Structure 1
Amino acid sequence: MLRTPVCGVLGVEVPIVQGPLGGPWQQGVRLAAAVSGAGALGSVPTALRTPAQIRDDVRRLRDLTGRPFALNMTRRPFDPEVFDTVIAEAPPVFSFALGEPGDLVARVHEAGAVFLQQVTTVEQAERAAEAGVDVISAQGTESGGFCGDVSTMALVPQVVDAVRPLPVLASGGIADGRGIAAALALGAQGVNIGTRFLASTECEVSDDWKAAILSAASQDAVKVTFADQILPPPTEGGFTTVPRSLRTPFVEEGNTRSAHSEAAAAQAEVLRTRVMASMRDGTAHELIPLTGQTAGLVHDIAPAAELVHRLITEAEATLRDLAGLVPANDSADEV
């Protein structure tokens, strides 16, 4: 079975991390449990969750699996009380996104957890390495949710070179085994996958959202350029990012307005009120269904364990096929 050094760091059998989906969208804990149970690393989001909800999430997760998992936080927003709760739950892995890790690294290490940091630029990766994180996830602009501007193909090898020997995961634009093989060729030791796991049996998002992913083309996953007008802003130390979502009338109308600052400002409060209402009634996905460009590669809804097995099997087959393209030399002197 495909295994790289980062598997030992994360305590997993295969080099796949499931990207967390939190906030008002909420994937639930069944997905993370199924991914971890299959030998990869399942992730549980904490954004917009209360400490009591997080404790309950972790209790249910541990009832479902005894395998390693990650608890995720971001700086959009960052709640110190939630961080205290996360540390108290002693997750095997703490993953952090959308902002500088700062002095959180020391506290995570004191709790005995591995620190996995998401970055969207080489400079962010260099600062994370200096801060002492254990693993870096280099996220390309193809990804769903909040992302940067540089493609995975361009970003990953630069980050690998900049932070060597720290292990790097590739994130964004990966939804099958060919993507995993490509990530390894770029120097990554594994991958962080989000959208492919959204369309899984265990993911607790709306069936309508899953169906939309299946029918979407890659170009249907667009940046939500007006997001800062309607969503909570990053807290201190947060990265500048813009979410990627499937097209909806709400996204299309908002993106059109964002090109005209006066119109955007006039509509901001109306849009914000509508989004807040959708968060309360569980329909945020109808407005902004966060999804990456790999939607074009997703053609079925399957159990998460099956997806992990499929991803690894495809990656191994691809790597074997690629190895066959290079003939063995008859002599060490041959070029």
Structure 2
Amino acid sequence: MLRTPVCGVLGIEVPIVQGPLGGPWEQSMRLAAAISDAGALGSVPTTLRTPAQVRDDVRRLRDLTDRPFALNMTRRPFVPEVFDAVVAEVPPVFSFALGEPDGLVARVHDAGAIFLQQVTTVEQAVRAAEAGVDVISAQGTESGGFCGDVSTMALVPQVVDAVRPLPVLASGGVADGRGIAAALALGAQGVNIGTRFLASAECGVSDEWKAAIVSATSQDAVKVAFAEHILPPPTEGGFETVPRSLRTPFVDEGNSVADMGAAQAGALRSRVMTAMRDGTAHELIPLTGQSAGLVRDVAPAAELVQRLVTEAEATLRALADLASARSGADEAR
């Protein structure tokens, strides 16, 4: 079984973390439960959820699984009352994204939870390590949702070097076992995967969104340049990031018409928020990473976890065999 030191830190069997697939839409607690039951770490988003909704989500999840899971928050926006509810639920892991962890780490640790921090630059990683987080997820620009500008291939080894001995996860562009093997080669101890799990049987997003992922190429996942005009802004301490989405007429128009977002910000934001609430957000901004080009089917989450592990192990064996063969060839010369 594929296992690295971060598995012990997070209380899991295989080094795979599900990225929280959050918003007003329902990710479904069935997804997080299925991933945790499969030995990985399922995640529950809290973005734009109320404290009462968060408490209900966690209780429903605990009815479905007794395995470790993560509760996630971001600084787009950060709501203190939601953080209070999260800490009160004492999640095994608290994951934080899109902003500095300032002032949060001690409370999370006092509650008995592990702190997993997402970063998009080396500088953010160093500050997170100094703040006392336990695990860092280095998120490359290939990722869906809000992401930075540096690729996973370039970012991960720099973060590993900068925060050693803290364990690092690689995020962005990983959707199969080859990606996991590559992440390990870069020095990461595991991966954080979002898009591949969007296209899972248990994920609560629409079938149309899942089908769009399966049929997409990597080029179809583009940055939403006018996002600041249609989505809630980051609160204090938030990172400057831009979301990545599959192309739609809405995204294409907003990206091609200069200053359209600024001119129509109020109307556009109202339209997007309404779509999020009524389940049609995917028709406007189906947040998805470039790894969509690697997704070929919709499958049960547990099957996906097993597939990822099996492929990673096979890839690592193939690489070892390749290195051995080359070494033997060199000796024969």
Q: TM-score range by the shorter chain?
A: over 0.9
Matches within 5 A, 1:1-335: 1-257=1-257, 260-261=258-259, 263-327=260-324
Query: Residues of 1 paired with 2:282 and 2:253: CA distance?
Result: 16
Q: Which amino acid aligns with 1:320?
A: R
Q: Which amino acid aligns with 2:246?
A: L
Structure 1: runs of 5+ lacking an equivalent: none
Deviation sequence 1:114-137 (CA, Å, 0-9, x none) = 000000000000000000000000
Query: Residues of 2 paired with 1:158 and 1:112: CA distance?
Result: 30
Query: Residues of 2 paired with 1:50 and 1:235: CA distance?
Result: 17
Query: Residues of 1 paired with 2:25 and 2:148: CA distance?
Result: 20
Task: Kindly state the Cα deviation for residue 326 of structure 1 after the two structures are TM-superposed.
Answer: 1.6
8 Å contact from structure 1 (residues 90, 112) kept in 2: yes
Task: Kindly state the Cα deviation for residue 319 of structure 1 after the two structures are TM-superposed.
Answer: 0.1
8 Å contact from structure 2 (residues 25, 277) kept in 1: no
Matched residue SS, 1:325: helix
Task: Kindly state the Cα deviation for residue 52 of structure 1 after the two structures are TM-superposed.
Answer: 1.0
Q: Which amino acid aligns with 1:308?
A: V
Task: Kindly state the Cα deviation for residue 72 of structure 1 after the two structures are TM-superposed.
Answer: 0.2
Query: Residues of 2 paired with 1:41 and 1:273: CA distance?
Result: 34
Query: Residues of 1 paired with 2:262 and 2:39: CA distance?
Result: 48
Deviation sequence 1:230-276 (CA, Å, 0-9, x none) = 1100000000000000000110111112xx23x44222222122112
Q: Which amino acid aligns with 2:251?
A: V
Matched residue SS, 1:142: coil
Structure 1 length as normaliser, TM-score? 0.96
How many equivalent residue pairs?
329
8 Å contact from structure 1 (residues 24, 284) kept in 2: no
Matched residue SS, 2:94: strand
Q: Which amino acid aligns with 2:290?
A: Q
Structure 2 length as normaliser, TM-score? 0.97
Matched residue SS, 1:8: helix
Structure 2: runs of 5+ lacking an equivalent: none
8 Å contact from structure 2 (residues 230, 261) kept in 1: no
Task: Kindly state the Cα deviation for residue 199 of structure 1 after the two structures are TM-superposed.
Answer: 0.4
Query: Residues of 2 paired with 1:231 and 1:155: CA distance?
Result: 26
Matched residue SS, 1:56: helix
Deviation sequence 1:65-106 (CA, Å, 0-9, x none) = 000000000000000000000000000000000000011000
8 Å contact from structure 1 (residues 25, 285) kept in 2: no
Matched residue SS, 1:324: helix
Q: Which amino acid aligns with 1:124?
A: Q
Of all paired residues, the percent bearing the same amino acid is 84
Query: Residues of 1 paired with 2:207 and 2:164: CA distance?
Result: 41
Q: Which amino acid aligns with 2:183?
A: A
Query: Residues of 2 paired with 1:49 and 1:10: CA distance?
Result: 25
Q: Which amino acid aligns with 1:216?
A: A
Matched residue SS, 2:136: strand
Task: Kindly state the Cα deviation for residue 280 of structure 1 after the two structures are TM-superposed.
Answer: 2.7
Task: Kindly state the Cα deviation for residue 187 of structure 1 after the two structures are TM-superposed.
Answer: 0.1
Matched residue SS, 1:26: coil
Matched residue SS, 2:272: helix
Query: Residues of 2 paired with 1:229 and 1:26: CA distance?
Result: 24
